[in-house]
Amino acid sequence: MGYVKKAYELINAHPVILVPQIGNLALNIICNVLIMNHATDFTLSVHSPLSMVTSLGSLVVITLVATLVGLIIYAGTGNMIKSAINNNQTSLKDFGTGVKKYLGKIILATLLIIAIMILAVLVICIPGVLLLVLSLWGDGFHGKGHIYPFNTLTIGSIIALAISVLAIIISVVVIGVLTSLWMPAVIMDDEGVISGLSKGFKAAKKNFWTILGIGALYIIISWAVVIGLNLLYGAVNRSTLLDIPAFHYMDVISYAITIILTTVFTAFLFLVYKDTSKEEGNPANLGGI
């Protein structure tokens, strides 16, 4: 937990790092409302293909815009964290510098991470699908040489499917941890995307269980905040979980808390990479920007 404490102290000493997150907070609220509206339109337009396509297109555009803004904020905030770590000072000027220097690399790195995860899922799915087909064949095969129609999955099929899903989850988690220091490497050492991948992978491998544990804790706390505030909203308004609206004023508080947690977790990753890189004698990590 030492890195988490250092990350919190870093953000506490340089609260300006949280300023760009105000824009992220507003964006989250706006996107949430827009997504809910278009999702409702999509559901109601089930008998109108054109309306469904329009609503679905709007959802995709909103998601892409939110993702791009999130990457912009990550690039800028990452450079602010870098400056705070290396120089013990930072400002919004560092945010702009970070966006200019690292946004392109961050976008490319994100696309490559997604591609790696998709490839891993496909590789795992191939034997999983074969196992599922063989299981269905074995469970439904009839002595006369044909397969019965399958209305439900049998025990063998369910086991095959469960193994495939578990393998996919494990692979995505492992890849997520091993690539978690990719972008800190790119920003901290001004590396290219590929060299950043190599350095980030080596550092993450050495700190695999630390990153996994703190990452899991971060996710659990974030979800606990969201669920807890929804329950509080329900208690205050005497509503059941089914009656709670998809967006309400407690969501603003949960977004704000989650953003702070996310910023601290990001600083944690930068600090882990910085110390690991320093141990390896990387000179780029010992000076300023």
Q: Are 234 and 270 in contact (CB under 8 A)?
A: no
Residue 93 above 90 pLDDT? yes
Cβ neighbourhood burial of 65 (10 Å; 0-12, 13-18, 19+) = middle
Spatial distance between the Cα atoms of 278 and 221, rounded to a whole number of angstroms: 30
Per-residue pLDDT of 209-249, as tens digits, reads 999 999 999 999 988 988 888 788 777 777 665 566 656 66
Spatial distance between the Cα atoms of 209 and 272, rounded to a whole number of angstroms: 12
Q: Are 247 and 214 in contact (CB under 8 A)?
A: no
Instruction: Tell me the backbone φ, ψ of residue 141, rounded to 5 degrees.
Output: -70, 135
Q: Report the amino acid identity of residue 49.
A: P
Spatial distance between the Cα atoms of 1 and 265, rounded to a whole number of angstroms: 12
Query: Could you tell me which residues are beta bridge partners of residue 147?
Result: 141
What percent of the chain lies above the pLDDT cut of 90? 44
Over residues 31-39, the mean pLDDT reads 61
Spatial distance between the Cα atoms of 179 and 4, rounded to a whole number of angstroms: 19
For 274, the token pair is 């910085």
Q: Are 183 and 109 in contact (CB under 8 A)?
A: yes
What global pTM score does this model have?
A: 0.78
pLDDT interval class at 287 (50, 70, 90): very low
H or E segment and range at residue 289:
none
CA 199, 201, 207, 212: dihedral to nearest 10 degrees? 140
Per-residue pLDDT at 162: 78
Q: Are 164 and 128 in contact (CB under 8 A)?
A: yes
Cα–Cα–Cα angle for 281, 283, 285, nearest 5°? 95
DSSP label of 242: T
Question: Which has the higher per-residue pLDDT, 26 or 187?
Answer: 187
Spatial distance between the Cα atoms of 30 and 194, rounded to a whole number of angstroms: 35
pLDDT interval class at 150 (50, 70, 90): very low
Q: What mean pLDDT, rounded, does the chain reach?
A: 79
